[in-house]
Amino acid sequence: MTAGPGQLRELLDAFQARFPFDPAMHPADETVVVRSPGRVNLIGEHTDYNDGFVLPLAIDREILLAGRRRQDETVRVFSLNMGDESAFPVNGVAAPAAAGEGKPGPPGGWSRYVEGVVWALREAGFAVGGFDAALVGNIPQGGGLSSSAALEVGVAVLIKELFGLELDPVATARLCQRAENGYVGVQCGIMDQFTVALGRQGHALLLDCRTLEYHYVPLPAQHVRLVVADTGVRRALASSEYNTRRRQCEEGVALLRRHLPDIRALRDVAPHSFEQLRDRLPEVLARRCGHVIYENARVLAAAASLANDNFTACGQLMYASHKSLRDEYEVSCRELDEMVEIARSVPGVYGARMTGAGFGGCVVSLVRADAVDALVAAIEAEYPKRTGKTPAVHVVTPSAGAASLQVIW
């Protein structure tokens, strides 16, 4: 569901009420509005921080931000969803030492992502002053649809517009990743921020997370749709085992390098080479590494399948991905598994898998266009019986990336 005129009007009214124009405080009565989408990853989970391949897309659920420059060095941001305001001085934001060690950064919930973007921009040498901003969104938080990356990229685009920064979408994605790694303390890869910044309407994005080379893969809405079903199970990513999985992959690379000295990351290990060396790794590390190595191959095969409109082949790769995430990487949960099995039982569903880091969140299904209603009905009927939880189901379409909006009001 795209945030419509009603939500935009609500945002602008709240912004004006919370931060009325004051000639003594604001250099001009010029309000910038930015839209920043969520994202769903069709296939390629936990490959991005292993220099691998991913196939995500920006979606038509989003965060809207409105902002105005201030004369001083204070940032004030109000979240309509949270009913909460955060304020901080731009020159007082410093990343804690713990964040650089892969540990959670400072407390503060949603406002940490705003602070982190300001910190990353200033650390990179950009002149960022004070500003007032308000935001509202319809991306489920903690559901694996990258509400945090949408906020980060949206804040970066807002600051770019307010202060006239020379910042292209790729550089924006890199800086927002830096904010999450170095300030928030989540050692994520580049996928989420890159997709939010560079999404294209009607397309998925095949991304090489090492080189940042990418190309767009059409998703023809007349033939196939995407259904995202939220399990209602929330996970705090920074406190989950996400960073543990990353360390395990790094340990696996260090051991494999004894036999394959030229490798830099798991992306460099071919499946046949891995099978020859699997027994040289501790059992847990072998399963973690095996998932990543074979997942990279699945991503490339899925992109090729979509390019040829072979949705059946792509769907089978999605099911294989979920099985690997459940059994080898161990980041699924009962509710995610039940959701996938419900989808599998519906004729016209090509494939389904958990999406996002795991431990809860959402399942994405690739569905024949005329089977969408049947899948939604099956999830709404069966999922509560199996789990006792009420799902939220969203039919999403590939969307454009973050950008400022021309608003007349």
User: Which entry of 48, 51, 60, 192 is annotated as an active-site residue?
Assistant: 192
CA distance 92 to 95: 10
φ, ψ (nearest 5 deg) of residue 232: 80, 0
Cα-to-chain-centroid distance, residue 225? 19
Distances (CA, A) of 199 to 193, 300, 316, 395: 10, 19, 25, 17
Q: Which of 75, 31, 36 is nearest to 154 (CA)?
A: 36
Beta carbons of 369 and 376 less than 8 angstroms apart: no
Beta carbons of 181 and 193 less than 8 angstroms apart: no
**What's 398's DSSP letter?**
B
φ, ψ (nearest 5 deg) of residue 307: -60, -25
CA distance 343 to 345: 5
CA distance 220 to 224: 6
Is 192 catalytic? The answer is yes
**Buried b / exposed e along 275-285 (16+ C-beta atoms within 10 A):** eebbeebeeeb
Distances (CA, A) of 109 to 113, 136, 244, 392, 407: 8, 15, 21, 23, 29
Active site residues: 192
